[in-house]
Structure 1
Amino acid sequence: MTNSDEYWYCPFAYGYTNYSRIGYAKHLLTYTDVVSYDGKKLSTTIGGTGLSVSAFSKHQQEAVAFTEFVCSPQYQINGYIYNEGQPGYLQAWKSQLNNELTNNFFSNVLPVMENGYMRPRYHGYLHFQDEAGIYVQEYLLGKQKSESLVLEKLNEIYMKSIEKNLSKVFI
């Protein structure tokens, strides 16, 4: 969408501030709230990337200091945005300046985040998401007609993902 005029609307897309910043791509994107269905606003899955320090790092003190720095409210509100980051700090999302820099990305997307469902973070979930998506897509494309068979398969994949998680916890 940022490089051609072929598409002009996408009801569900990952939200990245870069695409809402002047000069990042050929076309500037404007993000909005989630669409409604039967008069009810839909909910999306939200997630993100975490920040951690490896127990095996040869530079733990430096890594911890960097982590503290980039997670500090002052850097989240200012420096993180200026360096094209997407902060996790609510005040940064409510900042007028940050919204001016990003075509109101933060104020437009905040209702989506507040209404969203936090993606599960257990080991094995991403495998479930990838595998289950295939069956959901086949059903939506009409390649699979039986809802109950699709749900059975999703449940089977989910149970395997939980087993993977439990095996990691107890090892």
Structure 2
Amino acid sequence: MTYRGLTWDHPRGRAALERAALAAPGLIEWDVHSLEGFESSPIEDLAARYDVLVIDHPHLGDALAGGALSPVESWLGAAEIERVSADAVGPSLASYEAHGKTWALPLDAASQVSARLPERVAEAPRTWDDVLRLARREPVAPNLAGPHAMLSYLSICVALGEEPAVDGAGELVSERVGVEAAQILIELSRTAPSGTAELNPIQLLERMRAERDVAYVPLVYGYVNYASGPGSIAFGDAPEGPGGRIGSVIGGTGLAISARTTPDPQLVALLSWLMHPLTQATLIPEHSGQPSNGAAWHNAEVNRAAGDFYTATRRTLDESWVRPRLPGFTAFQATASGLLREHVAAADAAGAWRAVQGEYARTLAGVTIPPLQPQT
């Protein structure tokens, strides 16, 4: 049979998968959807139509509640999963774990990092205080479009020394930290170049590369595709807080199989091959991908071809914070992002914290991962 796969429509999301599919003609055909579709489309809906899905880990809560995915343990051996886990950079495999099971293989590793124009910002600011000082003399843009307003907010909270409490009880973050994080976004938004607040990460990086009117972005999901070639962007670690902690929310993508699909050995072999250290260090980066394998991140040739993207951002990836895999979390981060944008535009830091906390209490307080649906 021919399996149907779904990934996202960017060279980083599709090129390596399409090239790998040529190794097994007729085995899998890949469709694509937009970055916004990848960030917001319910996995449980997509799994009804596709056999193999490239997913984002925060969707797992809703996907598991609907019994949409097959645990990796049901189609891949424990020794192979253990090897992938040992090789994975940062928490890129751990982000797909829930309920004592693994629900996807980390094809791609990414977290929010900093991006700068090297001719305007010679060295990335180390701390958030440094970022605010830079914004007084160079155009600095926070990433606030779509869910990224909330993701930026959460990352700043982590840097300020407080990991969000996502156990469904109490405050998401304290008032002190939540207000301070919102104030940072307000200050950066005051001087950000016009139109940048509406740009998703890809659009923001495209604008940086083409128009050169955004000198620095403190938190944007790293895209190795923009780190080399004409107009290349310099990527670096995300800013630290006063205690030296880098604040960043892990992203990346995972390969998952629909619960309604029984993969044959040929499909399992292809997915396993995509995770092999040699594949991760060759085919993935050679076809616009961003590997999840730690050895690939340390590979001198891979880094040289990528403008040292991997060595420059590895610490951030290793320290990145993992979002909860709770039902309703993706809806929460979307709604909370809209509330944050409203209060940032109004320069109301206290109101931003109250709005985010209120939405958290309304949608997530007391929520836990429900029992697994029986696998059919």
TM-score between the two structures when normalised by the length of structure 2 = 0.40
Q: Structure 1 residue 19 and structure 2 residue 226: aligned?
A: yes
Task: State how far apart, in whole Å, the 2-side matches of 1:142 and 1:130 are.
Answer: 19
* CA distance in 2: counterparts of 1:31 and 1:68, whole angstroms: 30
The question of whether the paired residues in 1 share the 8 Å contact of 2:218 and 2:239 is answered with: yes
Residues 169/35 of structure 1: CA separation in 2 closer, same or farther (3 Å cut): same
Counterpart of 2:298, as a letter, is K
> Whole-Å Cα distance in 1 between the matches of residues 355 and 255 of structure 2?
39
Q: What does residue 264 of structure 2 align with?
A: 60
Residue matched to 2:357? 151
Amino acid at match of 1:70: L
Q: Displacement, 1:88?
A: 0.8
Shift of 1:80: 1.4
Greater alpha carbon shift after TM alignment, 56-65 vs 124-133? 56-65
Provide the identity percentage: 23
Taking a change above 3 Å as real, the CA distance of residues 170 and 54 of structure 1, as seen in their structure-2 partners, is closer
CA shift in 2, pair 1:55/1:150, >3 Å = closer
Structure that is richer in strand per residue: 2
Q: Whose relative contact order is higher, 1 or 2, with alpha carbons under 8 Å and at least 6 apart?
A: 2
Answer with 67-76 or 36-45: which moved more.
Answer: 36-45
Which of 126, 135, 138 matches 2:342?
A: 138
CA offsets per residue over residues 114-156 of structure 1, 9 Å max, x none? 1110233344321111111122222333365534354223321
Query: Is 1:36 the counterpart of 2:243 in the alignment?
Result: no
Distance in 2, Cα, partners of 1:55 & 1:170: 10
Q: Mark the CA change 1:15 to 1:83 in structure 2 (over 3 Å): closer, same or farther.
A: same
The one-letter code sitting in structure 1 at the alignment partner of 2:359 is: K
* Map 1:97-112 → 2, pairs under 5 A: 97-112=301-316
- Counterpart CA distance in 1 for 2:344 and 2:219 is 16
RMSD after superposition: 2.6
Contact 1:132 1:157 in 2 (8 A): no
Q: Cα offset for 1:158?
A: 2.3
Higher helix fraction (1 or 2): 1
Determine helix, strand or coil for the equivalent of 2:211. coil
The residue aligned with 2:253 is 49
Structure 1 distance, partners of 2:236, 2:285, is 19
Q: CA deviation at 1:36?
A: 3.0
Decide which moves more: 52-61 or 30-39. Answer: 52-61
Matches of 1:64 and 1:123 in 2, distance apart?
28
CA 66–122 in structure 1, closer or farther in 2 if over 3 Å, else same:
farther
State the one-letter code of the partner of 2:251.
G
Shift of 1:5: 1.5
Instruction: Give, in whole Å, the separation in 2 of the partners of 1:60 and 1:122.
Output: 30
Please give the residue correspondences for 1:63-142 in structure 2 after superposition, counting only pairs within 5 Å: 63-142=267-346
Normalising by structure 1, report the TM-score: 0.81
Structure 1: stretches of 5+ with no match in the other structure: none
Q: Which amino acid aligns with 2:239?
A: V
